[in-house]
Structure 1
Amino acid sequence: MFRWIFLLFFVALIEVYAFQAFKTITKTKWVLVSYQLISLLAIVYIFYQFSQFDRRVGQNSKTLLTFGILLLILIPKLILTFFMLLEDVYRVFYGTIAHYTDNNNDSFLPNRRKFVSQIALVIAAVPFTSLIYGMTKGKYNFRVIKQTLFFPDLPDDFDGFTITQISDIHSGSFDDPEKIQYAIDLINEQKTDMMLFTGDIVNTHAKEMYPWIETFNKIDTHQYGKFAVLGNHDYGEYIDWPSQKAKDENFEAIKNVYGQIGFDLLLNQHKKIKKGASEIAIVGVENWGKSFKQAGDLNKASEGLSKEDFKILMSHDPSHWEYEVKKDDKHFQLTLSGHTHGLQFGIEIPGIISWSPVQYVYKQWAGLYENLGRYIYVNRGLGFHAYPGRVGIWPEITVFELKKGQKVA
């Protein structure tokens, strides 16, 4: 009960303060009434949709839209509330001083200043327009990111070897076949030696991928194979199943889907890749996350491999690298992950700034990281989940070129 009282108080607080910002800059009645009506309808819609959420179904197009609308109205109004609250602190402070120093002051609180509300509205408009862009354009703003990685112990025959990585498809969120085909075309344009997919093919149900199987089957055959691992969403952990049998059947169907789009699914196992007189190992673990399902077994997956073998590890959740992989005596030279999506929200300007709220949860959240000669790369994901868009953290296709030797500074 207390939780609902707090929620209603919170909603009322931000609504009152956000309205104050609009009321300060305009007295036009129809504008203010329209604002109040739109806000009321949005709040009613959000509460209704969340009350109808079915844990037996999980995320669908309605929940995606609802969460998008929630962020669209909540974040700008929180900004307005912040500015209005700061102004109220000033007004109380100023009013208190004036009360004791100015005997002619009849009003305790000075009027709100129009320019403060104008500044607040301009700043609030930035996330508002960004979120709209993210929901309409940003979620399919695919980027190809190229990385050249140097390893002193890379086998000679693999010098110049190229790999394409994708991650976090979340096919249940897709709604534009033309844009997805464009992503497949971008993948094929890279013409790499190998293709790796680091998990989360669906949000929950295997059937989410069925409409997209034909599209993803258009990914070209790669000379040295296409390999995949499972992500946390592939286990169907986030809904209420009618029975364990139904959950198990869905899990088996999801594993089969990987094969149906031409990927060799590695379940705590590895494959040796031979090129000329040399070989490397592609190691694939099931999901292992500090805060998520821990089905991954690094020892089992790398059984028979030595420290001297060159190994590329696929592990969906980058926290696995932080807590287990980088400390492992077998020295996994390169780990490829996904999972974080970069929260689908942040600011990235190469060489200047790279920021997202998710960095306060994951030490390795997007891009390349190194520790004692061991690397992890965290792919930002191809799809989207929860928020139906992307702002500043764009969907990614990564292309790696492996080079033998030391990187020249």
Structure 2
Amino acid sequence: MRWLILISLYLLIEIYAYQAIKTITRNYWIQILYLAISVIIVAYAIYIFANYDRSVGPTKYTLRASGLLLLTLVPKLIMVLFMFGEDIIRVCVAGYTYLTNTFFEGQATQYLPDRRKFVSQIALGIAAIPFAGLLHGIWKGKYNFQVIKHTLFFEDLPESFDGFKVTQISDIHSGSFDDSNKIEYAVDLINAQESDLLLFTGDIVNTVAAEMDAWIPTFKKLKTPTYGKYSVLGNHDYGEYVTWDNEADKRANFEAIKDVHKKIDFKLLLNDSTYIEKDGSRIALVGVENWGHNFKKAGDLDVASKTIKSDDFKILMSHDPSHWEYEVKNHTDHYHLTLSGHTHGFQFGIEIPGWIKWSPVQYVYKQWAGIYSETGRYLNVNRGFGYHAFPGRVGIWPEVTVIELRKGAKPV
């Protein structure tokens, strides 16, 4: 039944979109070309997803298929909205004409008006906007790395850490990469920040540890700052989105993923903490395993914090920002700054600083990109380094976050 509904909806979209093409041009070969391209893309996607191997998980082929589907489907949905709106007007006009002619003039006529060419032209023109955006997102946007800087003020920050810089990256998703030069550039960009501390907040792979094999030499080039490189796990790092032959293979993959962090010189914090010491003062760095309101709950904040003091200045790494919403921000211990990722900002949205910040993911996550503050505590949600499911980014670019810690009250 589910497949019948999906197929019916897709056919309806295709019929409406084709009506727009027919209205715009009477050229038979253009109409045939449009239909041929649509059929080829759908057939390719059906073939790829019908042969999806759950023991392997997402591949570059599934990414390509999903990208092609969205590239064609989203513009068609825009066209359907216009065509359906026009049909509502056509039906209303037909009803009025029928009643008028039947009861007042008593003559037969064409009740349903023809489609208007200019409406189809407007629909096609507006549909070209998301098409161009998606095409740019696939071609360029997914590697349009941005350095986003924040300065955060804390009255109880130890004096020695005034001006301390933290670089955060998140959601590498190495199994999706297809351009080594772009990844080399991103690594150089991270190194250029010359921060005091480098933190990675989870999802190093899509599914299996082997995805990182080809990229270990590249990520090993990430310089180790004066105060180290630390990391935590994300929901994709547990190997739970593929089918394993046995539990032993799943455990082996999990151990291999943890080992990847060592290979690129990151110290993995698994419900654990450490102190960062500078000039006789120290701050606590806490790292929990994944804790998501709708995902795996392996994180244990109390266990992770058992070796630190409640009055320490704390930076918490927790992959899923829902952890901050449901546990951290109102915790009896004060976690000054939490660093998360996970949402990718949906890899789609509109951000114009000072004007608009919107993405469909905001209807799922209250905190989904950037800095948030409540009860005197901060959360930064990194938009992600890589990409997943859709092979591109539109309006929500891959991010390297640099946070400068400052002592004192925030300037008014």
Which residue among 265, 268, 277 is the counterpart of 2:271? 268
Q: For the Cα contact (< 8 Å) 1:98–1:105, is it kept in 2?
A: no
Read off the aligned partner of 1:12 and give its amino acid letter: L
Q: For the Cα contact (< 8 Å) 1:306–1:330, is it kept in 2?
A: no
Is 1:387 paired with 2:386?
no
Displacement of 1:101 in angstroms is 1.5
1:327-350 CA deviation, whole Å, 9 max, x = no partner? Answer: 111110000000000000000011
**TM-score normalised by the chain length of structure 1:** 0.99
Displacement of 1:11 in angstroms is 1.4
Displacement of 1:100 in angstroms is 1.4
Measured in 2, the distance between the counterparts of 1:105 and 1:397 equals: 68
Measured in 2, the distance between the counterparts of 1:143 and 1:34 equals: 39
Aligned to 1:86: 85
Aligned to 2:25: 26
Read off the aligned partner of 1:37 and give its amino acid letter: A
2:286 counterpart SS class? strand
1:308 counterpart SS class? coil
What is the root-mean-square deviation of aligned Cα atoms in Å? 0.8
Aligned to 1:152: 155
1:327 counterpart SS class? coil
Which residue among 357, 369, 372 is the counterpart of 2:375? 372
Measured in 2, the distance between the counterparts of 1:182 and 1:384 equals: 16
Q: For the Cα contact (< 8 Å) 1:285–1:298, is it kept in 2?
A: yes
Aligned to 1:35: 34
Structure 2 unmatched ranges of 5 or more: none
Aligned to 1:396: 399
Which residue among 102, 112, 135 is the counterpart of 1:109? 112
2:329 counterpart SS class? helix
Measured in 1, the distance between the counterparts of 2:249 and 2:350 equals: 41
Q: For the Cα contact (< 8 Å) 2:169–2:400, is it kept in 1?
A: yes
Aligned to 1:292: 295
Read off the aligned partner of 1:52 and give its amino acid letter: N
Displacement of 1:306 in angstroms is 3.1
Is 1:60 paired with 2:62?
no
**TM-score normalised by the chain length of structure 2:** 0.98
Aligned to 1:354: 357
Measured in 2, the distance between the counterparts of 1:4 and 1:318 equals: 33
Q: For the Cα contact (< 8 Å) 2:348–2:394, is it kept in 1?
A: yes
Aligned to 1:13: 12
Q: How does 1:207-226 map to 2 (within 5 A)?
A: 207-226=210-229
Aligned to 1:337: 340
Is 1:185 paired with 2:188?
yes
1:83 counterpart SS class? helix
Q: For the Cα contact (< 8 Å) 2:203–2:234, is it kept in 1?
A: yes
Displacement of 1:7 in angstroms is 1.9
Measured in 1, the distance between the counterparts of 2:23 and 2:51 equals: 37
Measured in 2, the distance between the counterparts of 1:119 and 1:96 equals: 25
Aligned to 1:316: 319
Measured in 2, the distance between the counterparts of 1:79 and 1:146 equals: 36
Displacement of 1:4 in angstroms is 2.3
Measured in 1, the distance between the counterparts of 2:53 and 2:214 equals: 23
Displacement of 1:304 in angstroms is 3.3
Measured in 2, the distance between the counterparts of 1:105 and 1:381 equals: 63
Greater Cα offset, 311-320 or 76-85:
76-85
Displacement of 1:79 in angstroms is 1.0
Q: For the Cα contact (< 8 Å) 2:273–2:307, is it kept in 1?
A: no
Displacement of 1:105 in angstroms is 5.5
Measured in 2, the distance between the counterparts of 1:63 and 1:115 equals: 37
Measured in 2, the distance between the counterparts of 1:281 and 1:42 equals: 52
Measured in 1, the distance between the counterparts of 2:268 and 2:363 equals: 31
Structure 1 unmatched ranges of 5 or more: none
Aligned to 1:233: 236
2:404 counterpart SS class? strand
Measured in 1, the distance between the counterparts of 2:63 and 2:391 equals: 5
Q: For the Cα contact (< 8 Å) 2:198–2:230, is it kept in 1?
A: yes
Q: How does 1:244-255 map to 2 (within 5 A)?
A: 244-255=247-258
Displacement of 1:372 in angstroms is 1.2
1:123-144 CA deviation, whole Å, 9 max, x = no partner? Answer: 1111111111111100000000
Q: For the Cα contact (< 8 Å) 2:273–2:308, is it kept in 1?
A: no
Aligned to 2:306: 303
Measured in 2, the distance between the counterparts of 1:290 and 1:124 equals: 36
Read off the aligned partner of 1:307 and give its amino acid letter: S
Read off the aligned partner of 1:81 and give its amino acid letter: V
Displacement of 1:228 in angstroms is 0.2
Read off the aligned partner of 2:256 and give its amino acid letter: A
Q: How does 1:155-166 map to 2 (within 5 A)?
A: 155-166=158-169
Q: For the Cα contact (< 8 Å) 1:171–1:203, is it kept in 2?
A: yes
Measured in 2, the distance between the counterparts of 1:382 and 1:251 equals: 21
Measured in 2, the distance between the counterparts of 1:368 and 1:105 equals: 66
Displacement of 1:48 in angstroms is 1.4
Measured in 2, the distance between the counterparts of 1:4 and 1:328 equals: 45
Q: Which runs of 4+ in 1 moved over 3 A?
A: 102-105
2:75 counterpart SS class? helix
Measured in 2, the distance between the counterparts of 1:304 and 1:36 equals: 65
1:65-122 CA deviation, whole Å, 9 max, x = no partner? Answer: 0110111111111111111111111100011001111445611210111111111111
Read off the aligned partner of 1:387 and give its amino acid letter: F
Aligned to 1:99: 98
Measured in 1, the distance between the counterparts of 2:183 and 2:4 equals: 43
Measured in 1, the distance between the counterparts of 2:333 and 2:7 equals: 54
